[in-house]
Amino acid sequence: MLSITTYLSSNPYPGRGIMLGLTPDGSEAVLAYFLLGRSENSRNRIFVEEDSTLKTQAHDPTKITDPTLVIYTALRVFENRVIVTNGDHTDSIYTAFDRGASFRQALRSRCYEPDAPHFTPRISGIITVEEGHLQYKFGILKKGGGDDCQRFFYEYAEPRSGEGHLIHTYMGDGTPLPCFSGEPVCLPTNNDINGFANELWETLDADKRVALHVRYISLDKYPQTRSLTLDRFGGRP
């Protein structure tokens, strides 16, 4: 298993990323969501927590040229499930759960982002906590041949202590940006939320990193959580 530093330092531009996993002591679910950006419109963002919800927000509203794909609710909680995504499909999943539909059914109504020539994939993660047990899932919606949308799902019903999985939007820099390929990458977690967040933040390219949110969720005392947020403008917990 690669370290976070080893894996991410080899990629100059992973884009937006979601990591889910279990702490080494097995007591907490681990959730991390990071943003990187190349344009001023993309970099001009911070995370804002409102109760259990996480949203992206303009740091300087006067510099936002197009909010369509950069301002959204990134994380919502539905009963014993935590939803995290890189776009407004957070709300699509939440609405689907509310009407009794599944994660997969929710994403069959959505597709990759319409940001030609990149066609950024929509990535999603779901944490489910039930009777002290953790399960998590990922989904990624990618452009196939022509205008086809390819949908891939990954489920981890028996996560191992000390391990997590990371999925992100890009495999590197370029034009067009190369889309994530393969399965979610297995990486180690840490009982120390500050140490884990700092390692992840410091590994991300300093010129492109925008914001990071890390949340540890108690399995025995759900929905008890602890979280911290970092951003390029000096925002700290």
Domain assignments of the chain as residue spans, ordered by start: 4-231
CA distance 163 to 188: 5
Q: What is the spatial order of strands in the sheet that 53-58 belongs to? A: 45-50, 53-58, 73-78, 81-85, 122-130, 133-143, 149-156
So what's the pLDDT on residue 1? 86
Q: Does 179 have pLDDT greater than 90?
A: yes
So what's the pLDDT on residue 237? 55
Q: Does 146 have pLDDT greater than 90?
A: no
Mean pLDDT of 167-178: 97
For the 4-231 domain, the top CATH level (class) is alpha beta
| Reported pTM | 0.97
Q: Does 96 have pLDDT greater than 80?
A: yes
CA distance 109 to 212: 28
Mean pLDDT of 2-11: 96
Q: How far is CA 73 from the centre of its chain?
A: 12
Which pLDDT band, with edges at 50, 70 and 90, does 236 fall under? low
Question: Could you give the C-alpha distances from 157 to 24, 185, 204, 219, in angstroms and in order?
Answer: 17, 16, 29, 14
Residue 22 · residue 220 · CB < 8 Å: no
In the chain, the amino acid numbered 60 is: D
Q: Mean pLDDT of all residues in the chain? A: 96
So what's the pLDDT on residue 145? 87
Share of the chain above pLDDT 90, in %: 96
Which pLDDT band, with edges at 50, 70 and 90, does 109 fall under? very high
Mean pLDDT of 68-94: 97
CA distance 123 to 182: 13
So what's the pLDDT on residue 33? 98
Tokens of 201: 């933040």
> How buried is residue 88: exposed, middle or buried, by Cβ count under 10 Å (0-12/13-18/19+)?
middle
So what's the pLDDT on residue 190? 98
Q: Does 235 have pLDDT greater than 80?
A: no
Residue 230 · residue 211 · CB < 8 Å: yes
